[in-house]
Amino acid sequence: MVKVKRLGHTTLQTEDIDGQTDYYSRVLGLSIVERSKDRVFLASKVGLEAVELVKGKPGWMSAQSFQIDPESDLNDVVKELSKHGIKAERRKGMSPGVADSVTFVDPKGTQVDLFSEYKFPKQDLTPSAFNILKLGHIAYRVLDVQKVVKFYNEVLGFRTSDSRGDYFYFLRCNTDHHTLNFIVDEKPQLHHIAFEVMEWAEIRKATDFLALNKIHLVWGPGRHVIGHNVATYHRTTDLVRIEIFTEMDQMKDEALGYWDPRPWHQERPLYPKTHGKETLRNYWGYGSERVIKGYQTNEIPVYGAIES
């Protein structure tokens, strides 16, 4: 089995590369590590590549990457994937920090690149309004959620952290509660991407700075129950939902099997589980009262006059 260690970057399509570059660099504070007319790479200030912008249909995600064990032989990875019927090939120059990768298409039709070695960019010391640490997770709407979850768990080494019924899955590849979400939907497409910040103070700085830029929140801040991250959501002008979060549940020791205990957990110890209708989407914050009535998690509720 190939073992994914962490999420790399996501490739987002846009018709407005300059506008989106301004948003991700000036508003979110990511560093531009490579820029050409048709392609821009951005990394967090701590040096992790996070977003690639390319020309295309606004708001569509066309690729994502993951780092695997630095000791991995990429030819072995190609062979391993072929055992599962996946046609993969070596690729050069995926990103400024990745010289070699293995590329293939996952069961939901997204291009995936796996890389073993990563070169950090030169440190960017320019200040930003708040600090994103990394691209933390990607949530995707899929038709056949069981098939996609099985693929990521059995072929790429993910584990199911929690699920809501049999239609909303949270998968981890490291200590973070989730790096991937898959949600059943008839229209396969990106649901949201999420950036991790160090602490609440960063969320306050982020939301104030978003407001100064006339970008309003569409959900939160609140604390989720599944994953327990404090999260807030807004949209880009390409209508990509962006989550900014902190304090996500951590599985520090897989052998123990429970989440590192936190004061706000509802159960002790707290194990991965399947949640039912009784589980609120938010422990507190906007949206914490809605689940029992609606039991509808695909749509993030909206408040204010901003959703367009």
Binding residues for Fe ion (CB under 5 A): 194, 243
Residue whose CB is less far from Fe ion, 176 or 243: 243
Closest residue to Fe ion, Cβ-based? 194
Question: Which has the closest alpha carbon to 227: 272, 191, 182?
Answer: 272
Residue 75: CB minimum distance to Fe ion, A? 35
Q: Give 3-state DSSP helix, strand, coil % of the chain, rounded to 5.
A: 15, 40, 45
Residue whose CB is less far from Fe ion, 173 or 194: 194
Backbone angles phi, psi at 152, to 5 degrees: -65, -35
Residue whose CB is less far from Fe ion, 113 or 243: 243
Q: Do you know the residue count of the chain?
A: 308
What stretch of H or E contains 66? strand 61-68
* Residue type (1 letter), 256: L
Residue 170: CB minimum distance to Fe ion, A? 9
Residue 64: CB minimum distance to Fe ion, A? 15
Residue whose CB is less far from Fe ion, 28 or 98: 28
The two structure tokens encoding residue 161: 């952290």
Residue 241: CB minimum distance to Fe ion, A? 9
Residue whose CB is less far from Fe ion, 32 or 300: 300
Determine the 3-state secondary structure of 160 from DSSP.
Answer: strand
Between CA 264 and CA 186 the distance in angstroms is 35
Is residue 70 within 8 Å of residue 3, measured between CB atoms?
A: no
